[in-house]
């Protein structure tokens, strides 16, 4: 009896040893797979190597000064509220709000996320200055009026844009140190259904640009009435970033300049695209032999003024989005090196009357991250989902 028990224990120990070795090998392999090659830069000589986060929070620079978030990897179809997982993008923004010491400024077209609203109220209650600018277009929705009412009752001052043009920005500035910007409205739809992207820029200069824009809108100055500020090029980990705001900066000319200087390829993802000059620049480059591809949000591809048919007849490879919800990106990738993105749809309204933000980033690593998102969306467009 004793001998049999000893034999069984030996077998168990041997099995556990083999399992432990196997787990150690898996951990080593995982570490080897996730460690990113970092770019040497004088700004980050004392920074530890950065691990590659999940695809929802890709670190594009060695010190994490630029992080890129997509809603896409976490979207589940069909979306059911009671089956949702936490959104890494929303949780990352909430973490920054929770860590704020002095100030939080939020400019967003649409807002109905309860957890995010509660995080802003909690920040206000612990003494952080919280301010908001929101377009009044969506106040007719009960969930928007309810949460903005709670924020206002908690002492958060909100400036509403009541013009027919939109305050269409989607950005946050935290402690004058961090700026978030991109295509993401702070809503359930944009978080759990629609394809969106956001950039997190840890930079005083970037934060200052967004705060200058915010201050004007918070004071009730919108659209063409806004003053023009100098827009210095910002370098983060050797990555040049230019920040522009519409309509005061005349954003289209900067987009056109990048398109006209393209040497190899232009790829885009567009919620709304009616700007003929941008379309013509793409057609000219396609005729010159460049690879020019794009995906349109399906519901807008045949809308009034849409350039889909124009681009298609001009030799551009354009497809309608194949997801069951909304393609909400406003992104152009040029020569696998330059990324143009933000809240700025490629439309006349975005150029002339809406309040918008846009960045132009020159960095192959950033471009590769956006390129992967484009390839995923382009592949889905060739084999659309069957929507219920």
Q: In the structure, what pLDDT confidence band is assigned to residue 49 with cuts at 50, 70 and 90?
A: very low
Q: Per residue, what are the HEC states of 246-268?
A: ECCCCCHHHHHHHHHCCCCEEEE
Under 8 Å CB-to-CB from 209, ≥6 apart: which residues? 179, 229, 231, 234, 243
Q: Average pLDDT for residues 35-63, to the nearest whole number?
A: 39
pLDDT digits (tens, 9 = 90+) for 247-291: 999 999 999 999 999 999 999 999 999 999 999 999 999 999 999
Q: In the structure, what pLDDT confidence band is assigned to residue 38 with cuts at 50, 70 and 90?
A: very low
pLDDT for position 347: 98
Q: What percent of the chain shows pLDDT beyond 70?
A: 84
- 234-382 — its CATH code? 3.30.870.10
Beta partners for residue 179, in sequence order: 173, 201
Write down the domain spans for the chain: 42-222, 234-382
Evaluate if residue 2 carries a pLDDT over 50: no
Phi, psi dihedrals of residue 40, rounded to the nearest 5°: -70, 135
Under 8 Å CB-to-CB from 256, ≥6 apart: which residues? 277, 278, 281
Domain 234-382 in the same topology as domain 42-222: yes
pLDDT for position 61: 56
**Which of 288, 233, 235, 250 is CA-nearest to residue 266?**
288
Q: Average pLDDT for residues 358-375, to the nearest whole number?
A: 97
How far is the CA of 138 from the CAs of 120, 168, 193, in angstroms?
19, 11, 18
Evaluate if residue 50 carries a pLDDT over 50: no
Evaluate if residue 243 carries a pLDDT over 70: yes
pLDDT for position 358: 98
pLDDT digits (tens, 9 = 90+) for 79-98: 999 999 999 999 999 999 99
pLDDT digits (tens, 9 = 90+) for 116-152: 999 999 999 999 999 999 999 999 999 999 999 999 9
> Beta strand 291-296 with 317-320: parallel, antiparallel or unpaired?
parallel
> Which class is domain 42-222?
alpha beta
pLDDT for position 9: 43
Q: In the structure, what pLDDT confidence band is assigned to residue 42 with cuts at 50, 70 and 90?
A: very low
pLDDT for position 237: 85
Q: Average pLDDT for residues 14-30, to the nearest whole number?
A: 45
Q: In the structure, what pLDDT confidence band is assigned to residue 336 with cuts at 50, 70 and 90?
A: very high
Q: In the structure, what pLDDT confidence band is assigned to residue 307 with cuts at 50, 70 and 90?
A: very high
Q: In the structure, what pLDDT confidence band is assigned to residue 52 with cuts at 50, 70 and 90?
A: very low
Distance, CA of 308 to CA of 319 (rounded, Å): 8
Task: For CA atoms 166, 222, 279, 235, give the dihedral sign.
Answer: negative
Evaluate if residue 20 carries a pLDDT over 60: no
Average pLDDT, the chain: 87
Q: In the structure, what pLDDT confidence band is assigned to residue 232 with cuts at 50, 70 and 90?
A: confident
Q: Within 13 Å of residue 337, how many CA atoms lie on the same side as its CB?
A: 10
pLDDT for position 234: 96
Q: Quick one: tokens of 270? A: 């567009």
Evaluate if residue 223 carries a pLDDT over 60: yes
Q: Quick one: tokens of 293? A: 């591809």
pLDDT for position 16: 45
Q: Per residue, what are the HEC states of the chain?
A: CHHHHHHHHHHHHHHHHHHHHHHHHHHHHHHHHHECCCCCCHHHCCCCCCECCCHHHEECCCCCCEEEEECHHHCCCCCCHHHCCCCHHHHHHHHHHHHCCCEEEEEECCECCHHHHHHHHHHHHCCCEEEEEEEHHHHHCHHHHHHHHHHHHCCCCEEEECCCCCECCEEEEECCCEEEEECCCECHHHHHCCECEEEEEECHHHHHHHHHHHHHHHCCCCHHHCCCCCCCCEEECCEEEEEEEECCCCCHHHHHHHHHCCCCEEEEEECCECCHHHHHHHHHHHHCCCEEEEEECHHHHCCCCCCHHHHHHCCCEEEECCCCCCECCEEEEECCCEEEEECCCECHHHHHCCEEEEEEEECHHHHHHHHHHHHHHHHHHHCCCCCC
């Amino acid at each position: 009896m004793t001998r049999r028990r000893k034999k069984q224990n030996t077998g168990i120990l041997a099995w556990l040893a083999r399992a432990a070795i196997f787990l150690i090998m898996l951990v080593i392999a995982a570490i080897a797979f996730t460690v990113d090659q970092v770019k040497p830069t004088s700004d980050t000589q004392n920074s530890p190597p950065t691990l590659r986060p999940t695809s929802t929070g890709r670190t594009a620079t060695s010190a994490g000064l630029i992080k890129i978030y997509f809603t896409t990897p976490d979207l589940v179809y069909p979306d059911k509220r009671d089956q949702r997982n936490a959104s890494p993008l929303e949780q990352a923004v909430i973490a920054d709000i929770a860590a704020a010491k002095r100030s939080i400024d939020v400019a967003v077209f649409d807002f109905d996320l309860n957890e995010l609203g509660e995080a802003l109220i909690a920040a206000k209650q612990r003494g952080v200055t919280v301010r908001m600018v929101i377009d009044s277009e969506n106040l007719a929705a009960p969930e928007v009026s309810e949460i903005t009412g709670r924020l206002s009752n908690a002492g958060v001052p909100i400036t509403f844009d009541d013009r027919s043009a939109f305050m269409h920005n989607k950005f946050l500035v935290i402690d004058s140190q961090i700026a978030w910007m991109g295509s993401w409205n702070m809503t359930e739809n944009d978080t759990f259904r629609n394809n969106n992207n956001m950039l997190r820029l840890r930079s005083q200069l970037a934060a200052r640009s967004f705060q200058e824009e915010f201050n004007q809108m918070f004071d009730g100055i919108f659209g063409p009435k806004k003053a023009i500020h100098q827009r210095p090029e910002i370098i983060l980990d050797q990555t040049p970033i230019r920040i522009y705001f519409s309509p005061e900066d005349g954003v289209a000319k900067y987009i056109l300049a990048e398109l006209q200087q393209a040497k190899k390829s232009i790829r885009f993802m567009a919620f709304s695209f009616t700007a003929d000059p941008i379309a013509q620049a793409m057609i000219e480059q396609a005729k010159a032999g460049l690879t020019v591809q794009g995906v349109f949000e399906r519901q807008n591809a045949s809308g009034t003024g849409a350039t889909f048919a124009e681009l298609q007849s001009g030799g551009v490879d354009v497809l309608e989005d194949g997801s069951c919800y909304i393609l909400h990106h406003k992104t152009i990738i040029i020569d696998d090196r330059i990324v143009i993105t933000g809240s700025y749809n490629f439309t006349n309204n975005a150029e002339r009357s809406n309040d918008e933000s846009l960045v132009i980033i020159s960095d192959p690593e950033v471009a590769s991250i956006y390129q992967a998102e484009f390839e995923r969306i382009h592949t889905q467009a060739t084999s659309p989902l069957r929507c219920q």
